[in-house]
Structure 1
Amino acid sequence: MRRVVEVALAAMLLAGPVHAADWPDVPVPKGSSGQWVTKHMINNGLHMRVSQHRMQVDPQALVGFYERQWPGKVVVNEVGAKTVVGHAEGDHFITIEITRDGAGSEAQIGIMKMPKEKPRQAMGAGFLKPAGAQVLNDIQYLDNPGRTLSLQTALSPQQSEAFYRGRLPAQGWKLERSQPCGSTATSCMASYTKADQQMQLVFNRGGGGTSIVANQIQQ
């Protein structure tokens, strides 16, 4: 599972399996505690849900727990300091990213609905972007409406900030605040509002151009 970046939409606390009418249950060991990151998001066209948990067993024991839950139906990989357990169930694929936390473990549980066809909407659809910009990530949160996009453009941070400053007002966005963004700036930021929406744009020089991260939320 691609790591969910810049997510700050934690919701209700839970203990026990992850429940939903249309999603499979994911068991967790007794005594575990956790919270939702999002109950439903679209990550680059794929429908997903994500939760984070604190487990009272170490990573090896946690892997064994899932191997017993789904005998012969798990794939285990070591990815850096993480152990990743994968399991397919019906139309969904479950990924559990496990890291050591003291004597216990932290686990991020992601459930992805496997697509039956190619997503009809291209990444970045409907979002203003400079010509030639590449959309790297497009995450939409459906349970707590919001959207996070990551883009890469050949423009400088100053040119990128000026692009949005000159065009967003025509779409009804009002500039609330911004950091100075001179010709030698390596990083700058701007915040906009539109009715009940807020958007923050962050521009960072790198990779021969500028990375742009846009966080859009509904109040």
Structure 2
Amino acid sequence: MAASRRAPRIPVAAVLALAVSPAMAASWPTAKLPEDTDSATVTKHMIYNGVEMRTQIFRSRQTTDQMLTYFRKQWGPKVVANDFEGWKILGHRDGDYYVTVQVRPEGEGSRGDIGMTLIPEKRQKIELGHGVPRPDNTVVFNDIEYPDDDTAARTLAMVNRLSPQQNSAYYISKMRSDGWTNAGDNTCAAGVAGCLLNYERGKQRMTVAITRGDNHSNIVVNLTGS
């Protein structure tokens, strides 16, 4: 079963908004699935807002209740259970990791995600968006890195009160001063709902997508290369 990379729904029991100190961690645990279940890896190593994770998706001919029973038997009594927007969620600690499965009905069977989170050794402050240019008073709410991909990648989701045209003007000036060159038309006419800017610098590529919201702009920055 093929799967495209995407940012996962973060299980409510997962450890989030913490910095990670992976040096002492053991190898990632293996998630065992029933035989009548197809699975695909979303990413083997992702850093989601400072937390190291790996995720996979699955579809099974077993029902949601059967899948929950399967994981409860596999993990034993130390299981945390939650419900979230139609998903049934189970989580437990496995050594240096927290493993979470979330599942919901699909057809006569079920589908779901498995997330593995490296538990931080200590709490640290995280600076989301570090090193990525953005206008003042821009809030970064997602900063996702894929450091082990063949081509390292990073995606940021941000919001601010500027218009798409004001944001575009900032990036056109800032990227030029930082040594980036245009990899596209990179114009944004007045009154349009959004802008798409493309830049390159050596082997690096950067795309900035800006869309108009309700009195704000949504900004998604994609960076590839190093």
State the TM-score, normalized to the length of structure 1.
0.84
Percentage of pairs with the same residue = 31
Following superposition, the deviation at residue 203 of structure 1 comes to 0.8
More contact order relative to length (CA 8 Å, sep ≥ 6): 2
Secondary structure, in 3 states, of the residue corresponding to 2:175? Answer: helix
Report if the CA contact (8 A) 2:8-2:55 is conserved: no
Change over 3 Å in CA distance of 1:178–1:190 after alignment to 2: farther
Within the candidate set 79, 82, 93, 1:88 is matched to 93
Within the candidate set 178, 189, 201, 2:196 is matched to 189
Residue 50, structure 1, aligned to residue 69, structure 2: no
Residues 105-147 of structure 1: CA deviation (Å, up to 9, x unaligned): 2221110011122346511111111111111111111221100
Distance 2:36 2:225 in 1: 35
One-letter amino acid of the structure 2 residue matched with residue 201 of structure 1: V
Following superposition, the deviation at residue 179 of structure 1 comes to 6.3
Report if the CA contact (8 A) 1:188-1:202 is conserved: yes
Q: Which of the two has greater strand per residue?
A: 1
The residue aligned with 2:22 is none
The residue aligned with 1:216 is 223
Q: Any residues of structure 2 matched to 1:58-69 within 5 Å, and which?
A: 58-69=63-74
Following superposition, the deviation at residue 148 of structure 1 comes to 0.6
Change over 3 Å in CA distance of 1:180–1:169 after alignment to 2: closer
Residue 203, structure 1, aligned to residue 196, structure 2: no
Residue 110, structure 1, aligned to residue 115, structure 2: yes
Distance 1:127 1:108 in 2: 30
Report if the CA contact (8 A) 1:38-1:143 is conserved: no
Secondary structure, in 3 states, of the residue corresponding to 2:183? Answer: strand
Distance 1:100 1:218 in 2: 39
Following superposition, the deviation at residue 186 of structure 1 comes to 2.1
> Which deviates more from structure 2 when the two are superposed, residues 105-114 or residues 82-91?
82-91
Report if the CA contact (8 A) 2:187-2:197 is conserved: no
Residue 40, structure 1, aligned to residue 45, structure 2: yes
One-letter amino acid of the structure 1 residue matched with residue 166 of structure 2: Q
Distance 2:186 2:84 in 1: 38
Aligned length: 204
Q: Any residues of structure 2 matched to 1:118-157 within 5 Å, and which?
A: 118-119=123-124, 121-144=126-149, 145-157=152-164
Residues 139-195 of structure 1: CA deviation (Å, up to 9, x unaligned): 111221100101111111111111111111222322222565233222221122222
Distance 1:180 1:168 in 2: 14
Report if the CA contact (8 A) 2:81-2:89 is conserved: yes
Aligned-residue RMSD, C-alpha: 2.2
Q: Any residues of structure 2 matched to 1:2-13 within 5 Å, and which?
A: 3-4=8-9
Report if the CA contact (8 A) 1:45-1:119 is conserved: no
Where do 5+ consecutive residues of structure 2 fail to align?
A: 1-6, 11-25
Residues 64-86 of structure 1: CA deviation (Å, up to 9, x unaligned): 11111112122222212222221
One-letter amino acid of the structure 1 residue matched with residue 199 of structure 2: Y
Following superposition, the deviation at residue 208 of structure 1 comes to 2.5
Secondary structure, in 3 states, of the residue corresponding to 1:98? Answer: strand
